[in-house]
Structures are given as structure tokens and as C-alpha cells.
Structure 1
Amino acid sequence: MSDSIDRRGMGALSGGHLATDFASGAVPAMLPFFAAKFDLNYTLTAVLMLAALASSSLTQPLFGLWSDKRGALWLLPAGIGLAGVGIGLAAVAPSYGLLVILVFLSGLGIAAFHPEGAKFAVFASGRKRASGMSLFNIGGNTGYALGPIIVTPLVLWLGLGPGGLLASIPVVLGAAAVLLALPYLSRLRPEARSPGVAVSGTDDVRAVLILGGVIGFRSVAWFGLLTFVPLWVVSLGNSEADGNRMLSLMLVAGAVGTLTLGPIADRFGLRRTLLVAQAILTPMILVFVLVGGVVGALALMLVGICVVGTFGLTMVLSQMYLPEHVGMASGLSIGLAMGLGGIAAVALGGIADAIDLETALVCCAFAPLAGVVLCFFLPSPAVASPVATAPASAYPLLD
């Protein structure tokens, strides 16, 4: 295993992650425009978010299992391409039902990319897994943050249909770039560098379940904010553009958090950093909702740092807890546990319709407290070691 990060391979993987999550970040940015076009209430708006999360998150463990058993490097460009085409066509969907289907298909593309991408990011990281995963995630977090920053002005300028179609073009171009990089990426497999790499450590299913609970409770708050922050700002008498600017502020802060919390975790420990970040969420969300203004905006930025900045930490922990199934670990940490937050977002939409949006946001603020309790039960992971991989024959470029 190399002592240094393969910069070329990581650049391709992080760039692909950026393109994929740009499509993902476009969904919450377009929610106010979809709501206006189809006259949606809070619950139906949250169903759109659920459709995106059910496909992009809940199916990721299945793609992770495929990755572990056979390998499927072709899923990287194919997933990015499907994500871009799906979100572009969703912008011109003539009916709500078709809109839900297209958002769901776009999410499948996102799900296809992540487990294989995360596993090859481990290969490219060498022994610096935490630093390498931070570089991989900064691409995704930046892409997610750029979604509302780019999509909102395009839609306001050109309209929902043309603006959404134009925004999908960079994603499709990203798929083409990753396709061209596949021959180089295929050489990052451990078999290609050091035949006979063995797996050190055994899977700790109990630890993964506890970690999944932490991620799930964190995701309830996160996806509640992704869904309702723009609508909350609009409900206070501001414009849709103002709502998406607030969302962008949270996401950009999260991208910065990816780079800052990684070194902190290296110094103070993965579990300790995760615990502190999780504990900060509830008071900061309450400040955003109940205080508002500049103070509320700063609190929301801190929320973004604490949530997005710990994505890489939980991914590395899950891979350490499941050293024999790294693809599955990635699918679980990125996908299944986070997808539970999308289901909760629909429930929060029901609360918003039955009572009001402020009550729904206050409810989502308290979810991370349960995750704080679970953090105390996380065991210490084994020392990072070479990961298990599918046989080399399972990685034809376009099999």
C-alpha cells in the first residue's frame, strides 16, 4: 500500500463526486420552483425529497454489495450520466407524477456512483485514508453546495425548464471526463500494485448498526433543513432567491468543514470529533429558527460545518468497522442511514402542514441528541489496513 495519495486518481474521483452531487444539490434548490409550478403543499414537496433520497440513499447498499462481489467500475460514469439526465428532464416534466419518477431515476445514478467511487478513493488514498477520504468528499460537498448557487440564478433567468436543462450539462460532461479516466483508475486496484493483499480485521456488525443510528439521527436534522430552509426563509416574507442563498450558505460552510474537521479528527480522534460535532447541532438549529437574522445565519453555517464535515469521518469509521466489505460500508454510511432522514423529512412535512413549519424545524433540531447518546457506545475501530477487494477479473473497464 502506497504511503502517499495518488493525486491523479483522486482528482478524477473527486471531480466525478463533484458532478454527481451537483445533480443531488440541484434537487433542494429546485423544490420551491417545483412547489410553485405544481401548487404543492409541504407534504408533497417533501415527497420529492424522499424520492431523491430513497433512490440515491436507500439503494446504495445494494450497489455496495455489487461492488464488493464483482466490481463495476463502469458505474462511475454511468451513474453520473444518469444523475444529470434525470435532473435535467425533471425540470421540464409536465406532471407531478412524472417529476417524481425522474427525480427517482436521477437518484439511482447518484447511488450507483458512490460505493464504487468511495472504494476506489480508498485505493487512491494509500495509508492516508482519512486525508484521502476528505479530498474525495470535498468534491461531493462542493458539488452539492454549487447546486443551488448555479441552479437558482439559471432558473430565475431562463425559467425552470431551460434553466434546469442547462444546469444538467456540466454533470453530463463530468460523466464523459470520468469515462476517459477509467483506464487509469483501473490500475489503482491493490492487485495491480501488490498481489496478494490480505484483509486485516473482521467485520463488526454491532458497531456499524450503532454508527448507522448516529448517521440516521444526524440525517433527520440535515434533510429536514435541506428541504425546509428555503421554504422557511420564503415564509418569513423573503424571496425564493433569498431562501436558496441561505441554503447555499449552509452548504458552502459544510464544504469548508470537510477540510477542517479531518485534521481535527486526526489529532483528537474520530469518535471524539464526531461526538462534539453531533452535540453542537441541536442548539445551533434552534438559534437559526428562533433567533434568526445574522446570528441565525452564522448558526446555520456552523450546522453545515458539523454535519457535512463529519461525512468523511463516518465513512472512514464504517470502512474500519467492515474491513471485509468496504463497498457495502460506503453504501451504508452514505446511503441507507442517510436515507432514513428523507423518510423523516416527509413526516416533518406532515407536521408542518398540520401545525406549522416552525414546529417541524424545532422537532428536527432535537433528533441529533439521540445520536449524541449513541456516540458513547461506538467501539474503538481497528487500525486502518489494506481493504478487501473483488478479484481483479471483476474489474473489466466496461463489464
Structure 2
Amino acid sequence: MTTNKLTLGNPVYPVMFAIGGVHLLNDSLQSVIPAMFPILERDLGLTFTQLGLIAFALNMVASVLQPVVGYLSDRKPRPYTLPIGMTFSLIGIAGLAFAPAYWLIILSVMLLGLGSAIFHPEGSRVSYMAAGTKRGLSQSIYQVGGNTGQALAPLISAYILWPLGQKGAAIFILVAALAIFMLLRISAWYKEELVQEKLNKRKRVILSTMENLTKKQVGIALTLLLTVIFARSFYVANITGFYIFYIIEKYSVEITTGQLFIFLFLVLGAAGTFFGGPIADKIGRKNVIVISQVVPIPLCILLPHVPLGVAIVLLGLIGFFIMLSFSVTVVYAQELVPSKIGTMAGLTVGLAFGMGAIGAVAIGILMDSVGVYQTMLIVSFIPLIGLTCLGLPRDQKIVAVQ
């Protein structure tokens, strides 16, 4: 069978790496929130319910607003919304560091969520614009920056916030300021690209690697893809938020040791995110999504039943493979609806935030109802839902313009 080839321009690597670096800074700001939970419980006497509501406020604001921001930017791109959004995050992290009351903490994390909601779809658009033929690689560089920032949460908690207390979060005001400086430079490039498009009376490449699909087929494919994202986000929320309690109960390890296991999961997840994009550029988006969903299933089911040494190995493998498709699902959605790059980025990444928030609440309720061990057994079968990826349409190859 002959494979059709699409033509795109060459990648702009400095912009690809710069926006990925800012994504790392942005998500390290967000990782301060869960990292601060032990400090807020110790210093302000907050309950677990109140801590859960803090996480819910952050993720739901980021989740709900991302598709809205993406839709608005598709209608009229506004390059300088990137540093403006990061300014909200700077105000939010400053408020978190010095807030004396619970309601001010909630307000601060909502500002962080607003900054994240503005950054993610616009940042993904910049990554897409700079990608050329390397859409998978570019999105991987972008997303691995974010995942690396998230992976820092256990280290931030142990080495910055625990010794310095709530005010230790003020250090991250400098992180936000650095991100704003970088975004001003990126936004200047973004604006110039838009000017060149207007002068040349051309539009940004919107070629899709999909076969000609009807609106109904696109709708079905998006539904299947969002189901995959639901399964992945739900399971990841379980590991990052609640698996620590299982480790402590089953293996009798210290909290600090258990946090290192979660860090391993997150770091190898970031590695999977990075490699997923380039692999998808070579073997196809759908193939990587299928691998990412099928391989972890037996590993997830085995995880609650094995000794500690084996559990560590399984945890690392699950993290790598389940996150292999993180950046790929974003690109796949963008190519399903190539005229709505920002909307699709906001929808897919925003859904990941939203499902993480809802998953955390659901798992917490389940854990209170049936216990830690039974909850881990039930959640271990969640990845089976991801088998819906088998129904996704295949994508084509792309090549550079000679």
C-alpha cells in the first residue's frame, strides 16, 4: 500500500527548546502546591479535605479555562498573553507564600490555575508553529518540560518547603520572573511570525496527517482519544496522590523513601513523554498511543501484588510507557482538527488536569470507603479503559519541503 506524504517546513529548534524550558518553570510553580501540603497541615492546621479542595481549585480552574483560551487564540492569536498569564502565576505564588488565611490560599492557587490555563494552549501553539516536520519531537520537548517540573514536587517538599516553611515558596517568585522574561522573547518571535503570515497573505500550515475524515468520524475519534486521556489521567492521579499511602501500609517504608518511588515514576514518565514524540514521528501517532495503553495494562494489574523490589521496577516501567503518549495525544488531536490548534491543546491538556482533579476526589472517597488496599486493586484495572485507542484512525507520514 502506498503511503501518502505531507510537506511541512523545517523546525525552529531555539523556540522549541525555549518554550519547553518555560513549561518546566510553569509546572514547577504548580508543583509547589502539592509539595506544600505537609507544611500547610503542620503550620496552619488544615484538614485533608481542605488540602483536597486546594488541589481541586487549582486543577479545575486550569482545566475549565484551557479550552476557552485555546478557542479564543484560534480566533485571534495574541502573542503577549503568554507573559501576561505568567504574571498571574507570579502573583499567585507570592500570595501562596504569604497568605495568612485559608481563603487567601484558595484565591492564590486559583490565580496559579488561571496562569496555567493561559500558558498551556498558547505554549502548545508556539511549539506547533516552531515544529515544522517534527511535530511529535516539538510537542515532546514542550510536554517533557512540564512533566519534569511536576516531577520536582517531592524534592521541593523535602529540600525547600519542609525546612523553610510556607514562606519558602517565595523563592519561586524568581522562577516566575525568569519565565516572564523568556516569554517576552518568545512572544516577540510569535508576533513576527504572525506579521509574516499577514504580509505574505498565507496561513500557518494546517495540513493534517489524517486521511480525509468526515465530521462524524472526527467526532468519534475525539471521543475515543478523550477516553484514553481519562484512563491515563485517572491512573496517574492515583499514583502521584495516593500510592504513597499504599507503600507505607504494605511495605512499612518511611514517607521520604516512598516519595522517592513516586519521584522515580514521575521522572521515567517525563522520559517517556520525551521519547514518545520522536517515536511517533517515525512509526505514527496511533501506534505510539496503542503501545502506551496496551503495555502498562498487565504491569498495573500486577503492581499491588508484588514484593517491594519488583514494585519499584514495575512503577518505573508503568511511568515510562503510560506517559509515552502524553505529547502524542495532543498532536493527534491537533491533526484531527488542524484549524483549531489552540482549542485542541486546551481540550486535551485541560482534560488531563480535570481528570486528575476528579480522579483525586474519587480515589479519596473510595479509599475512605473500602480501604487503601482494595482501592489500589480496583484502580489497577482502570488502564483497561484505554483499549478504546484501538478504534482510532491511522495517521500518515510527513516530509520536509525540499
- Residue identity matched to 2:230: G
Distance in 2 (alpha carbons) for counterparts of 1:181 and 1:383:
29
- Where 1:196 maps in the other structure, the secondary structure is coil
Counterpart of 1:220?
234
Counterpart of 2:313?
298
Give the deviation of 1:258 after TM superposition: 2.1
Counterpart of 1:267?
282
1:195-344 to 2 correspondence within 5 Å? 195-197=201-203, 199-200=206-207, 204-234=218-248, 237-344=252-359
- What do you get for the CA RMSD once the two structures are aligned? 2.7
Q: Which runs of 5+ in 1 are unaligned?
A: 387-399
- Residue identity matched to 1:140: G
- Residue identity matched to 1:354: S
Distance in 2 (alpha carbons) for counterparts of 1:364 and 1:92:
37
Task: Using the TM superposition, name which of 353-362 and 236-245 deviates more.
Answer: 236-245
- Residue identity matched to 1:215: I
Counterpart of 2:145?
139
The percent identity for this pair of structures is 30
1:86-101 to 2 correspondence within 5 Å? 86-101=92-107
Counterpart of 2:72?
66
Contact 2:64 2:354 in 1 (8 A): yes
| Alpha-carbon displacement from aligned partner over 1:29-71 (angstroms, at most 9, x marks no partner) | 3333334445556554433322221112232101111110111
Counterpart of 2:4?
none
- Residue identity matched to 1:248: F
- Residue identity matched to 1:314: T
Q: Which structure is larger by alpha-carbon Rg, 1 or 2?
A: 2
Match of 1:22 among 20, 28, 42: 28
- TM-score (normalizing by structure 1): 0.86
Contact 1:89 1:102 in 2 (8 A): yes
Distance in 2 (alpha carbons) for counterparts of 1:88 and 1:294:
41
Q: Does 1:186 align with 2:227?
A: no
- Residue identity matched to 1:294: G
Counterpart of 2:391?
377
Flag the 1:60–1:240 CA change in 2: closer, same or farther, 3 A.
same
Distance in 2 (alpha carbons) for counterparts of 1:290 and 1:42:
28
Counterpart of 1:5?
11
- TM-score (normalizing by structure 2): 0.86
Distance in 1 (alpha carbons) for counterparts of 2:23 and 2:87:
12
- Residue identity matched to 1:241: T
- Where 1:183 maps in the other structure, the secondary structure is helix
- Residue identity matched to 1:76: L
Give the deviation of 1:91 after TM superposition: 4.2
Counterpart of 2:117?
111
- Residue identity matched to 1:207: A
Distance in 2 (alpha carbons) for counterparts of 1:52 and 1:79:
15
Give the deviation of 1:110 after TM superposition: 0.8
Contact 1:32 1:230 in 2 (8 A): no
Flag the 1:270–1:264 CA change in 2: closer, same or farther, 3 A.
same
Flag the 1:196–1:188 CA change in 2: closer, same or farther, 3 A.
closer
Contact 1:65 1:328 in 2 (8 A): yes
Contact 2:292 2:323 in 1 (8 A): no
Give the deviation of 1:274 after TM superposition: 1.2
Task: Using the TM superposition, name which of 234-243 and 261-270 deviates more.
Answer: 234-243
Distance in 1 (alpha carbons) for counterparts of 2:41 and 2:248:
12
Contact 1:125 1:132 in 2 (8 A): yes
Give the deviation of 1:331 after TM superposition: 0.6
Give the deviation of 1:75 after TM superposition: 2.2
1:37-48 to 2 correspondence within 5 Å? 37=43, 39=45, 43-48=49-54
Contact 1:43 1:350 in 2 (8 A): no
Alignment: residue pair count: 384
| Alpha-carbon displacement from aligned partner over 1:269-310 (angstroms, at most 9, x marks no partner) | 321221222123343334444335232122222222123321
Distance in 1 (alpha carbons) for counterparts of 2:34 and 2:276:
25
Counterpart of 1:164?
169
Give the deviation of 1:379 after TM superposition: 1.6
- Residue identity matched to 2:56: L
Contact 2:286 2:395 in 1 (8 A): no
Task: Using the TM superposition, name which of 34-43 and 243-252 deviates more.
Answer: 34-43
